[in-house]
């Protein structure tokens, strides 16, 4: 899309992401998300996408995975729905003691954990969606329901890191789409994902339906954490998604650099730990930009074993900062891309002695 033009204002709203990140193709229709009303046009285009022939009826053509010896089925019930979301609920930046003026609410698209059988919500609507936990040898069984009644489009759950066959990919692929890649409003589908040894780590999941770019940008994402069988689980586990919410997506007058759908300290997650605890902070890049994670007063080892206090994450990449807490106090954590930290990508880490 190099021949497309974008204004300086739009480019800055994107946080420097560039024009290409604003185009998406939905059922053969190209939508320029930088234009006014584009989100509504994208939703309308997604609602018109017909069900692919191969997705009209689920046929178990490939073997359904089963747990390895010693493993178990780890069962989750997840629904997707749109809902109002406030990016700066306190209306303030607690770091700099300033008021954040203007509107900060928009219609997000979120995954919500439910009790078995989708009987009732297990928790509130959050961004990101629930973190799914398992061990090597387990099979994640994710019962998914498209519960949205407003946007009228197919959505899915597509995982990274775990093993699955094409039945459970959760990706829209045009005429090659399987049933799990097109879950229409009111429908349900169950995914089976294997937790093999190579799956150890933290991974994202997200919508990969016909309108996946827009829906991921506005909140349809979450995390999967896989541990070695019998490995020590950290005393403190946090999941942080670094992403931006821009005017083309939200309809608001400014861009927000977010952590878990919130912007500015006091709104973003306040992490808590105690001296002596084993702490793991899983950090994801969940937009089209590169970010990094920096925490004051602390160090951890990178994948090469070298000490670090700032680690880069790109789109859908993950790093885990794991350390034994030994430095009580109130600390900042933030993205060290300066324009990102100043536009909201920062938070507090409180450590008790």
d(Cα 43, Cα 33) in Å, to the nearest integer? 11
**Both tokens of residue 255?**
């861009």
Reading the block at residue 335, the tokens are: 């993205």
The predicted pLDDT at position 8 comes to 33
Identify whether the C-beta of residue 94 lies closer than 8 Å to the C-beta of residue 222.
no
CA dihedral 42, 46, 48, 49 (to 10 degrees): 140
> What is the band of 61 on the pLDDT scale with cuts at 50, 70, 90?
confident
Q: Which two tokens stand for residue 13?
A: 């709203």
Q: Please, what is the average pLDDT of the chain?
A: 91
CB burial of 70-84 (b: ≥16 within 10 Å; e: otherwise) equals ebeebebbbbbbbee
Per residue in 155-205, pLDDT (tens digit) is: 999 999 999 999 999 999 999 999 999 999 999 999 999 999 999 999 999
Q: 38 falls in which pLDDT band (50, 70, 90)? A: confident
Predicted TM-score (pTM) of the model is: 0.92
Neighbours of 316 (CB within 10 A): 16
Q: DSSP H helical segments within the chain, as ranges?
A: 8-13, 38-48, 212-217, 247-250, 338-342
How deeply is 101 buried, as exposed, middle or buried, from its count of CB atoms within 10 A (0-12, 13-18, 19+)? exposed
Residues 222-248 as b/e (b if ≥16 CB within 10 A, e otherwise) read bbbbbbebeeeebeebbbbbbbbbbbb
Question: Token pair 């692929």 is at which residue?
Answer: 173
End-to-end CA distance of the chain: 54
Q: List the domain boundaries for the chain.
A: 15-55+62-352
* Model pLDDT, residue 229: 96
Q: What is the mean pLDDT of residues 126-130?
A: 97
Q: How far apart are alpha carbons 122 and 15 in whole angstroms?
A: 35
- Residues 285-301 as b or e (16 or more Cβ within 10 Å = b): bbbbbbbbbbbeebebe
- Residue with more model confidence, 71 or 29: 71
Residue 234 has pLDDT above 60, yes or no: yes
Interatomic CA distance for residues 243 and 262, integer angstroms: 10
Q: Give the integer Cα–Cα distance in Å for 213 and 286.
A: 11
pLDDT, average across residues 273-294 = 97
Structure tokens at 241: 């998604």
**Superfamily in which the 15-55+62-352 domain is placed by CATH:** Cupredoxins -  blue copper proteins (2.60.40.420)
pLDDT confidence tier of residue 332, bands split at 50, 70 and 90: very high
Residues in the chain: 353
Listing DSSP states for 70-107 in one string gives T--EEEEEEEEEEEEEES-TTSEETTTTEE--S--EEE
pLDDT at 299: 96
Residue 23 has pLDDT above 70, yes or no: yes
């Amino acid at each position: 899309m190099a021949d497309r033009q974008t204004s300086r204002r739009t480019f800055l709203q994107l946080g420097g992401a560039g024009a290409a990140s604003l185009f998406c193709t939905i059922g053969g229709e190209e939508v320029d998300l930088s234009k006014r009303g584009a989100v509504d046009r994208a939703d309308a285009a997604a609602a018109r996408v017909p069900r692919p022939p191969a997705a009209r009826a689920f046929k178990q053509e490939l073997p359904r995975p089963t747990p390895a010896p010693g493993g178990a089925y780890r069962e989750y019930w997840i629904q997707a729905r749109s809902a109002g979301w406030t990016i700066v609920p306190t209306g303030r930046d607690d770091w700099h003691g300033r008021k954040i003026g203007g509107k900060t609410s928009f219609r997000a698209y979120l995954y919500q954990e439910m009790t078995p059988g989708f009987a009732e919500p297990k928790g509130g609507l959050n961004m990101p969606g629930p973190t799914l936990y398992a061990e090597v040898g387990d099979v994640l069984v994710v019962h998914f329901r498209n519960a949205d009644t407003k946007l009228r489009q197919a959505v899915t759950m597509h995982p990274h890191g775990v093993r699955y066959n094409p039945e459970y990919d959760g990706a829209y692929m045009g005429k090659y789409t399987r049933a799990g890649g097109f879950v229409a409003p009111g429908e349900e589908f169950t995914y089976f994902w294997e937790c093999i040894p190579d799956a150890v780590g933290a991974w994202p999941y997200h919508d990969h339906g016909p309108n996946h770019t827009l829906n991921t940008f506005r909140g349809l994402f979450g995390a999967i954490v896989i541990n070695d069988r019998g490995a020590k689980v950290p005393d403190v586990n946090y999941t942080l998604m670094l992403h931006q919410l821009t005017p083309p997506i939200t309809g608001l007058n400014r861009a927000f650099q977010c952590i878990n759908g919130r912007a500015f300290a006091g709104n973003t997650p306040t992490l808590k730990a105690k001296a002596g605890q084993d702490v793991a902070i899983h950090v994801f890049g969940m937009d089209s930009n590169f970010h990094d994670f920096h925490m004051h007063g602390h160090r951890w080892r990178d994948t090469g074993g070298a000490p670090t206090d700032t680690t880069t994450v790109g789109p859908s990449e993950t790093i885990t900062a794991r350390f034994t807490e030994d430095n009580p106090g109130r600390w900042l954590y933030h993205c060290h891309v300066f324009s990102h930290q100043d536009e909201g990508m920062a938070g507090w880490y409180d450590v008790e002695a």
